[in-house]
Structure 1
Amino acid sequence: MTTIDIDHASRWFGNVVAVNDVTMTIGPGVTGLLGPNGAGKSTLINMMGGFLAPSTGTVTLDGAQIWRNESVYRTVGIVPEREAMYDFLTGREFVVANAELHGLGAREADRALATVEMEYAQDRKIQTYSKGMRQRVKMASALVHDPSVLLLDEPFNGMDPRQRMQLMELLRRMGAEGRTVLFSSHILEEVEQLASHIEVIVAGRHAASGDFRKIRRLMTDRPHRYLIRSSDDRALAAALIADPSTAGIEVDLKEGALRIQAVDFGRFTTLLPQVAKANGIRLLTVSPSDESLESVFSYLVAA
């Protein structure tokens, strides 16, 4: 059970603060790291991978400092966002070279290439690869020593839908095995499908942590929005609008539904079935319309 602990870590470059007093713990399972461009995600991953020293604070792996500790690379695999690769090598030569850095050989390299389904192109030069193929070869090089920790910076960039599905399944399997997997991505739907836990970074600061639905429900200063269909939308709207838990109701004729803003989540979720039962109204659809990861993320950025 390998864990990365970030304790009041900051990193600045001259007068620019890239990461500002961040504290979080990354444990076994799949964790998604979210944030807008320039939020500090890559800087944070580089500190976790030992490429950057924190200006203040600490970043540790199972209690051991990561910076200038080459022993961590026995258990950590890293897939950076940057495309710095040896284009004159074939894919297999590149992965074998990375295996040899770990004291391993061609057998482990071949296993890693098979894991990312790149055997068919392993003897082609990397300079002929598409971006998605380059991503998969980088992934193979990170997996060659069978790490218990995997750090991936925007791993889905340039992948086609099939490649994304294959990588998502691989990461799910690794998380289920008890490995510690952290990935950043700007494709919010994929993070929602894949990550069991999220960490949100905004302007270098730690903005939120946990399951995105739980985060949304903790944001009590903002109304919760619902899309509701019933056997009598107008009667339901008239009954709900009188209660202080409801801030506003819109009849959406196109959707054939009500769009409701609730300012008191607990009271509204109790009130809705009571009102429907008292008025003989059947509830056909009750769907939160702002609990997608994208909605939560936009709220956090705007906060």
Structure 2
Amino acid sequence: MASVTATDDRPAIEVSHLTKRYGTVTAVRDLTFTVEPGVVTGFLGPNGAGKTTTMRMLTGLVTPTSGTATIAGRPYGQLRNPSRTVGAVFDASAFHPGHTARDHLRVYAAMGGYPDSRADDLLSLLGLTEAADRRTGTFSTGMRQRLNLATALLGDPRVLLLDEPSNGLDPEGMLWLRGFLRRLAGEGRTVLVSSHVLSEIQQLVDDVVVIRRGELVAAGPWSRLAGPPAVLVLSPDADRLAAVLRGSRPDGDPPRVDATGDGRLRVHGLDAAGVADLAAAHQVPVHELVTETTSLEQLFLHLTTERTAS
């Protein structure tokens, strides 16, 4: 991830050698990463990896055993006006069931020193105007997620920390959330999203931070971490095609060609057009040609399985 100077307008999240122990259990161990403004960053890891603990240390809800967690160069407790800098969504049930959505937002607006009109603005922005006078106890999980996000945005913060924000959203709601968070990142905000819905997060995030057992295993643009795509090719003369491909660069590194069975080859180091051109030049028949990209789910499993970490 490219380095960006942290300021109040473009605040980066910086975690440095962060550790949290609960007795003999180490929830987070020597964790270091940076989340930059202007992109949506996915915070990923198996259950119990330490994601929520880390996000709570960022907001001062949990005290680190050692190390630092800062936003715009300051610990959360030292921010001049925390709700104008950081908005956090950790619990989709943090509402009094007897309050209406408008009442809930007005209470938090008063706590932050914001006018009542800010509540109505956010109800409109989050698509909750028609539900503004309904009691939150009647809300679906998806509506609670929207109201939680509205609460986090009361101070128009430059940083958003979202723990599982897509839980309970239907496909239309997920599409809306994706566009909304991308728009916020496009305004130069810093957006950190924790999620287990990898198929959805793949369409949302630019960068990823992946942890396992409280330790960092990878960080950066997920497309770079996934590596270049491979090409799957089916040929009735797979052996001859493999020989042609392996001999295509006599003065450089040859492409890697792996036989996968049934006349199929997986080719690394050549794109589909290159494979097709070589096959045509040597008159090797090809029946199928597919570009194979690594999904975020495949990358996640590769990074977090026992055999990778050992």
**TM-score normalised by L of structure 1:** 0.86
Structure 1 counterpart of 2:205? 195
Q: Any residues of structure 2 matched to 1:254-265 within 5 Å, and which?
A: 258-260=264-266, 265=268
Instruction: Verify: 1:111 aligned to 2:121, yes or no.
Output: yes
Structure 2 segments unaligned to the other structure (5+ residues): 1-9, 247-253
Q: SS of the counterpart of 1:104?
A: coil
Structure 1 counterpart of 2:70? 60
User: Pick from 8, 16, 20: which aligns with 1:7?
Assistant: 16
Instruction: Verify: 1:141 aligned to 2:144, yes or no.
Output: no
**Residues 80 and 275 (structure 1), Cα distance of their counterparts in 2 relative to 1, 3 Å cut:** same
Instruction: Verify: 1:295 aligned to 2:298, yes or no.
Output: yes
Which range moved further: 272-281 or 131-140?
272-281
Structure 2 letter corresponding to 1:251: D
Q: Any residues of structure 2 matched to 1:1-303 within 5 Å, and which?
A: 1-28=10-37, 29-67=39-77, 69=79, 71-81=81-91, 83-217=93-227, 226-228=231-233, 233-240=235-242, 243=246, 245-251=256-262, 258-260=264-266, 265-266=268-269, 272=275, 275-281=278-284, 285-288=289-292, 291-302=294-305, 303=308
Conserved? CA contact 1:61–1:72, under 8 Å? no
CA deviations 1:22-60 (Å, max 9, x no partner) are 111111121111111111111111112221122111111
**TM-score normalised by L of structure 2:** 0.84
**Residues 149 and 241 (structure 1), Cα distance of their counterparts in 2 relative to 1, 3 Å cut:** same
Identity %: 35
Q: SS of the counterpart of 1:37?
A: coil
Structure 2 letter corresponding to 1:152: L
Conserved? CA contact 2:40–2:205, under 8 Å? yes
Offset of residue 198 of structure 1: 0.9
**Residues 237 and 288 (structure 1), Cα distance of their counterparts in 2 relative to 1, 3 Å cut:** farther
Cα distance in 1 for partners of 2:100, 2:67 equals 41
**Residues 268 and 121 (structure 1), Cα distance of their counterparts in 2 relative to 1, 3 Å cut:** closer
Structure 1 letter corresponding to 2:227: R
Structure 2 letter corresponding to 1:114: S
Structure 2 letter corresponding to 1:228: V
Cα distance in 2 for partners of 1:113, 1:146 equals 14
Cα distance in 2 for partners of 1:17, 1:241 equals 51
Moved over 6 A (4+): 267-271
Structure 1 segments unaligned to the other structure (5+ residues): 219-223, 253-257
Offset of residue 134 of structure 1: 0.8
Cα distance in 2 for partners of 1:187, 1:109 equals 30
Q: How many residues align?
A: 286
Conserved? CA contact 1:240–1:275, under 8 Å? no
Cα distance in 1 for partners of 2:283, 2:77 equals 65
